[in-house]
Amino acid sequence: MTERKLRVLVGKPGLDGHDRGAKIISRAFRDAGFEIIYTGLHQTPEQIVAAAIQEDVDCVGLSILSGAHNTLLPQVCQILKEKKADDIVVFGGGVIPDDDIPGLKSAGIKEVFTPGTSTDDIVAWVRNNVHPRA
Amino acid sequence: MSLAEKILQGDIRSAARLMRDIDDGLRSSVEELKKLYPHTGRAYIIGLTGPPGAGKSTLVDQLTAAYRKAGKRVGVVAIDPTSPFTGGAILGDRIRMNRHADDDGVFIRSLATRGHLGGLSRSTGNVVNVMDAMGMDIVIIETVGVGQDEIDIVRMAHTTAVVMVPGLGDDIQAIKAGILEIGDVFVVNKADRDGAERTVRELATMLDMKPSKPGEWQAKVLKTEAQCNRGIEELVAEIQAHRDFLFSTGAINHLLEERNASMFMDLLKDRLFSDFFAHIKVNGRFRQIIDGMMTREKDPYTAVEEILTEETGKVKWTGSA
């Protein structure tokens, strides 16, 4: 039997047009042997959740630099819950003040990576915290 | 309730999960596919192939929009390459089409080639069958960006569109064998660019050189600018014309027969090989042969003949599940 391959959706919710980080992380995940679905810029939480479900991903990584993280990130978790897909792990990254992190975590974001985090650490975190569906 | 039953009741998540099981090669997926098979055969399958960057994903996006406007449900299977070094893949076709993500009438699935050559993934045919059973009226398959010889799509689709762009090569490229022989319709995308007319002319000349028999489909060359939605209506009309041709002449029967045969043969090949190989690996014959080849005491030609006659009867053929 073949081994399950980890599938990750990398999403850019909201209106910022800066996707260098999303591309770098996608590349790091690719090199770690994951399959990444990158959905591109300017996505609504609804579009991200619909894509995550259709692609049957194990986790969703959200990159956000616009400052709207307190609104958009919890929305993704909320809609996943409404669609009974909250078994999909959500994590985030970007310019996010430390003070906002506890609130995001209580809203369902499992981890938040701020500027300066090495891609190795993020890959290691995914390996330890996300497991391909049985 | 089984995944198949849930899918037939319209459950999206179950469909997505079954596609994953198919892609990951789980035996259980075969049982589900058996249950879905009687519900397939209704979708019209369109293939889009062509070189990387030709605009296939953008065309798929516009075609999807056009079919949605006509009230059709659309499934999309988009294939991107797997890294031969790490096994990872970045599937980016959705970037061009994710505006359809939260439309209930559209289901998009990205697949990685996972080492399969030919422009598709091994799982593509089965994933298309799931979309068919979900009740999609149209299923569009976008191949990985291909060059010359990746022609699996022609055995999967009812209508194959070959997408080209200006400036890729001269007319000798166009008369070589391969993907330029398989188009039911040719699209020169990015037609606002320099050299578009020349590319159209070269493709048309190539098609003219093909000896045509009476009653055969005559492929046309169309121009599109997918990004600004130009030429899409004409492309939809041409696909419809080809579809009408297939059904009015009965050519569809020949096409379906070939498609079914190749699907069955692929399955048979896979199962024969995997069971046989598992058997000779476990009983040590495989190792013996490889060692024998190393010292040149055994040649691989004789080895194959020997194991076929000696081992075939002993293989434990895996039945269902």
pLDDT of residue B319: 60
Sort out which chain A residues have CB atoms less than 8 A from B123's CB and list them: none
Q: Do B107 and A54 touch (CB under 8 A)?
A: yes
Q: Output the six-digit token pair for B17.
A: 């999960």
**Rounded to a whole number, what is the distance in Å from the CA of A98 to chain B's nearest CA?**
30
Cβ atoms of residues B286 and B295 within 8 Å: no
Helices (H), chain A: 20-31, 45-54, 69-82, 101-106, 119-129
Q: Do A26 and B90 touch (CB under 8 A)?
A: yes
pLDDT of residue B321: 38
Residues of chain B with pLDDT under 70: 170-175, 177, 319-321
- In A, what residues contact B, Cβ < 8 A? 1-5, 7, 26-27, 29-40, 43-44, 46-51, 53-56, 83-85, 133
pLDDT of residue B170: 66
| Cross-chain CB nearest to A53 (options B12, B25, B92) | B12
pLDDT of residue B270: 87
Kindly give, in sequence order, each residue whose CB lies less than 8 Å from that of residue B197, ignoring residues fewer than 6 positions away: none
Q: Mean of the pLDDT values across residues A62-81?
A: 97
**Rounded to a whole number, what is the distance in Å from the CA of B275 to chain A's nearest CA?**
12
- In B, what residues contact A, Cβ < 8 A? 12-13, 16-17, 19-20, 23-27, 82-83, 86-92, 94-96, 98-99, 101-102, 107-110, 112, 114
Amino acid at B268: L
**pLDDT at A64 > cutoff 90:** yes
pLDDT of residue A1: 43
| Cross-chain CB nearest to B16 (options A33, A49, A54) | A54
Q: Which of the pair, A99 or B178, is modelled with greater confidence?
A: A99
**pLDDT at A2 > cutoff 70:** no
Q: Do B86 and A51 touch (CB under 8 A)?
A: no
The SS3 of residue B263 is helix
**Rounded to a whole number, what is the distance in Å from the CA of B313 to chain A's nearest CA?**
23
Q: Do A34 and B83 touch (CB under 8 A)?
A: no
Closest residue by Cα to residue B187 from B86, B51, B307, B74? B51
Q: For A16-38, what is each residue's pLDDT tens digit?
A: 899 999 999 999 999 999 999 99
The residue of B57, B64, B95 whose CB has the most chain A CBs within 10 angstroms, and thus the best one to mutate to test that interface, is B95
The SS3 of residue B277 is helix
Average pLDDT along chain B:
92
Q: Do A30 and B98 touch (CB under 8 A)?
A: no
Q: For B238-266, what is each residue's pLDDT tens digit?
A: 999 999 999 999 999 999 999 999 999 99
Domains, chain A, ordered by start: 7-129 (3.40.50.280)
Residue of chain A minimizing CA distance to B109 = A55
Q: What percent of chain A has pLDDT over 90?
A: 93
pLDDT of residue B149: 77
Closest residue by Cα to residue B39 from B123, B129, B167, B157? B129
Cα–Cα dist A67/A70, whole Å: 8
Q: Do A54 and B83 touch (CB under 8 A)?
A: no
Q: Do A5 and B24 touch (CB under 8 A)?
A: yes
Closest residue by Cα to residue A26 from A126, A101, A130, A132? A126
Q: What percent of chain A has pLDDT over 70?
A: 99
Sort out which chain A residues have CB atoms less than 8 A from B14's CB and list them: none
Q: For B265-281, what is each residue's pLDDT tens digit?
A: 999 998 899 899 999 99
Residue of chain A minimizing CA distance to B26 = A1
| Cross-chain CB nearest to B92 (options A31, A38, A47) | A38
Domains, chain B, ordered by start: 40-249 (3.40.50.300), 262-314 (no CATH)
Q: Do B90 and A56 touch (CB under 8 A)?
A: no
**Rounded to a whole number, what is the distance in Å from the CA of B21 to chain A's nearest CA?**
9
Cα–Cα dist A128/A58, whole Å: 13
Sort out which chain B residues have CB atoms less than 8 A from A19's CB and list them: none
Kindly give, in sequence order, each residue whose CB lies less than 8 Å from that of residue B34, ignoring residues fewer than 6 positions away: B320
Q: Do B19 and A56 touch (CB under 8 A)?
A: yes
Give me the torsion for CA of B89, B90, B91, B92, rounded to 10°.
-160
